Amino acid sequence: MSKLAEKIDAEQQLSIATKDALYEAYLADGRPWVIAYSGGKDSTLVLQLVFEVLMDLGGQARKPVYVISSDTQVEAPNVVGYVEDVMDAIHTNALERGLPVTCHLVRPKLSETFWAKLIGRGYPPPTRWFRWCTTNMKIKPSRREIDKIVAEHGSVILLLGSRTAESSSRKQRMDARQTNFRNLNTHHEIPNAFVLTPISTWGNEDVWEYLYENNPPPWERSHNQMLTLYRKAVGGECPVVMDLNTPSCGGSRFGCWVCTVVKFDRSMEGFIEAGEEWMRPLADFRNWLKVFREQESVRMKRRRDGTVGPGPFTPLARVEILKQLLDAEAKVGVRLISDAEIGYIQSVWSSEFDLKEQAFSIAAGFNRQIEGNVKMSLDEDAVSMLEDIAAGRGLPPDLVGKILELEPQYSNLDRWGARPELRRQLEDLIKVAESCEANAK
């Protein structure tokens, strides 16, 4: 037998052995499976092998399989579109075949999004030592979905695309895990969840060979776009993150386009060099933000807990970041921040330093009209009178306008609780006005 034939035979034996193990594991108990799918090669391989096993099982395939993918809402736009297309194809094909497969695209809550934290609350961009993005945008959304499944079924098995060949550190972590006789190890953060890594012994060549030879996959959505993305990005994938031990994305991985954890975003640069020139404003914004965060003048002198040290971005810095982001959005022609996020940002600003509703005004300057941004209309004489009154009493005109906007809410002060509510809101407005004055000095 030639060396090529031996290689092909070895690869076939590897895939057969992996599928046999999946058959046995699937039928061993009634615990549902959760496949963590990121759109990259490893998670795609796991998903394809499981799908093929379910097809072979036919009527025996009864227990549910959940495919979970995480959309952080700052993923590279071209990768987001691909993942959504694949999830749609899997959902449709599974229904047609009668397979117990459902797809779930999870997203962070509004208060957890990257822009809500960074521009709204002033969090500095993530670093290797302060990866707040991982918890908020990846772990929490996936964990909430898995918790729902555990609550319904009592326990789950998570199928991950982790491989020992990925890196020496990954191999050490995987080797250190305690597995039972069925090669399952308990998840150290999610109660009643076990982890199965069916392709742990596969090498890179094994993964690519199987995907190339079995293209298109059973759900009939070709791998060609994924292969093209890899060629352009020159790298790996961003895994579905289930704990903080998982390495951050960046470098040559498919990850968040605004990632500041890495020094250079090789995947973004690879896309641009391969002809995706439209993405350059994204790279420019990311590089600008990485430099901007290092300026001492753009950070508050105290942290949110009151201790002295580099704190959140200053109000002026948050305003500038929003302007730069919307400018990048206008250049690429792709929505980078949602209306809901801008509304949330304004609510945070209004409670901390802003009486002028600057987020809405900035958005309007970029032809973004935010729903719910309704302001009280006054004629010119009334506005002039308000300004005179405010100036005469040393009050900012915006404070008077905000107070007048409360009037419709408290037309009946005899209503139970109305007076203390009004007093509380007035106190909050005065505090914000004082903050505005202090920031202006």
Confirm if 53 and 63 have CB atoms less than 8 A apart: no
Hey, is 414 helix, strand or coil? Answer: coil
Are the C-beta atoms of residues 131 and 248 closer than 8 Å to each other?
yes
pLDDT above 70 as % of the chain? 73
| Residue 59: C-alpha distances to residues 56, 89, 97, 168, 257 (Å) | 9, 22, 11, 41, 43
Of the ranges 320-324, 404-408, 418-422, 426-430, the best mean pLDDT one: 320-324
Alpha helices in 339-379 (DSSP H): 339-352, 358-365
Q: Let me know: does 36 contact 2? Beta carbons within 8 Å.
A: no
Tell me 183's DSSP state. Answer: S
CA nearest neighbour of 125 among 299, 279, 366: 299
Give the strand pairing for 156-159 and 101-106.
unpaired
This prediction has a pTM of: 0.76
pLDDT score of 376: 40
User: Would you say 359 and 121 are in contact if contact means Cβ atoms under 8 Å apart?
Assistant: no
Sheet containing 185-186, strands listed edge to edge, beginning at the edge strand earlier in sequence:
101-106, 65-70, 33-36, 156-159, 193-196, 185-186
Q: What are 310-367's pLDDT values in tens digits?
A: 889 999 999 999 999 999 999 999 999 999 999 999 989 988 888 788 999 999 999 9
CA neighbor of 41 nearest in space, from 220, 146, 166, 158 = 166
- Looking at residue 303, the DSSP 8-state letter turns out to be -
Map out the domains of the chain as residue ranges. 3-233, 295-365, 380-440
Give the CATH number of domain 3-233; options: 1.10.132.10, 3.40.50.620, 3.40.50.720, 3.40.800.10.
Answer: 3.40.50.620
3-state secondary structure (DSSP) of residue 123? coil
For all residues of the chain together, what is the average pLDDT? 82
Least confidently predicted of 31-45, 103-117, 427-441: 427-441
DSSP per position, 41-78: HHHHHHHHHHHHHHHHHGGG--S-EEEEEE--S-B-HH
Residue 241 has pLDDT above 60, yes or no: no
Q: What is the pLDDT confidence band of residue 384, given thresholds at 50, 70 and 90?
A: low
The pair of structure tokens assigned to 257 is 């386009």
Task: Tell me the two tokens of residue 28.
Answer: 């061993």
> Looking at residue 233, what is its pLDDT?
74
Phi then psi for residue 178, to 5 deg, are -90, 120
Average confidence (pLDDT) over 189-218: 92
pLDDT confidence of 77, banded at 50, 70, 90? confident
Kindly state the tokens that stand for 421. Answer: 């509510």
Residue 277 has pLDDT above 70, yes or no: yes
